[in-house]
Structure 1
Amino acid sequence: MRSRLHLMRQRWSNLLFAHWPVPPELLRPYLPARLEVDTFEGQAWLGVVPFTMSHIRPLGLPAVPGLSALHELNVRTYATLDGVPGVWFLSLDATQPLGVWAARTLFHLPYLHARISLTETAGTLRAVAERTHRGMVPATFAATWTPGAALPLAQPGTLEYFLTERYHLYTAGANLQQGVQGSSLWRGCLWHEPWTLREATLQEWDSTLLESHGLPTPVGPPLLYAAEPLDVQVQELRRV
């Protein structure tokens, strides 16, 4: 098998994993028929992840000023195909118009235009977002959280590992609804060191992201993990 082509490097920082357990059947309509909803002890998980992406550059080339950083806010669940676990995105709101275009066109991902700020004050992070993508259901987001104590390295078989150590993604096209009904499916690979996770305390959470997809408002607070910055290599997509 030939090795995958590394396309670009990125750094992810200011990241928060926020997840809720949901019945697998709730998510079945949001995935193509070929993908299986991935579960942990029979429970599916739905996540919202804000973070900053920086140092974006094609492999072997310098970063382009003004195009090398963005803020992102994605809605995700987890799926498998032929035993390979990966992330399935319902949406990825982001701030860089050219980056959104490239991700939709070249990587077939459902990126959407948005205004997002993500700031840090005395160790506390705050993200505020508003979706601006024409023709899409509006959504807003505001959250404030404080990272806490470092956690042990996530081990295979644990919930922390299931939710965070994902080295593949699946996508069926830039339009989620059309992709779910269509026959095209791609698998992408990411390479990075294991996450360094931290506890997190939530001071604020006000979001309509899940509701914009027709999903019910989650009951109870999310399960939280803050994460230390991480360098990532993005590899090519392949049809599967």
Structure 2
Amino acid sequence: MRVRRLLTSVLTASLLATTAGVALTASPAAAATPTTITGPDGAPWLQRASSFSDQPGAVVRGDDLALSITVVDPATGERVYDGSLVVERLMRGAAPDAWQPVASSPNAYLYDTVQAVANATYRVTYSGTETHDASVSSLAVAVQRDLVVTAKNRPLGLAGTIAPRAKLPVVVQKKVNGTWKNVKTVRSDARGRFFAGLPAPKKRGARFYWRLQVKPSTQFATTRSGVYYTTRY
């Protein structure tokens, strides 16, 4: 009987030791899930808010840019909701560390608008969580100057203003055989105002097509007007 009791005691001690060993051994931590910053249905997360514009080409100074930002697990496509977002802007030509915050969200999604001011890069940073990795995404946005043009009959031509105000050369282009040709250059004054006189065709009912262009700079993309025409009745 003593032998049996001794064996029972040894087995019990062995089981207790094994159990204690399991309790004291930490399991390896699970790796955080990678994340991707995206827009609606995989589209860019920063876009022109309206498709209508009097100026063809790049976004115009003063236009609204729509932020539609979501965070997803790239492996499954599932949305991530925890964490926070910060959107920053770096103007072209500025110091590399001159990022300025323009929008933020306490969640892993953001729907907002910001105003285009000049050529810039926008960066959104997702904070990450204990279960999801942090991530960053950047997009460059080219911005035109704001060019307001009015057709005039007396004298015949195009009057306009450029914003921001500056003395700038404004190139007058004429469409010839399907190609835009530079025909002359006028200059805006210190208030950004200018006038470009235009001829009409000699033949009645004929048309000459015109547009205006301001060359690009560090701060702004090539700026173009819509198309106008002169005719003779």
Query: Which category describes the TM-score, using the shorter chain as reference length?
Result: under 0.3
Higher strand share: 1
Task: Identify the structure with bigger relative contact order (alpha carbons < 8 Å, sequence gap 6+).
Answer: 1
TM-score, normalization: structure 2?
Answer: 0.22
TM-score, normalization: structure 1?
Answer: 0.21
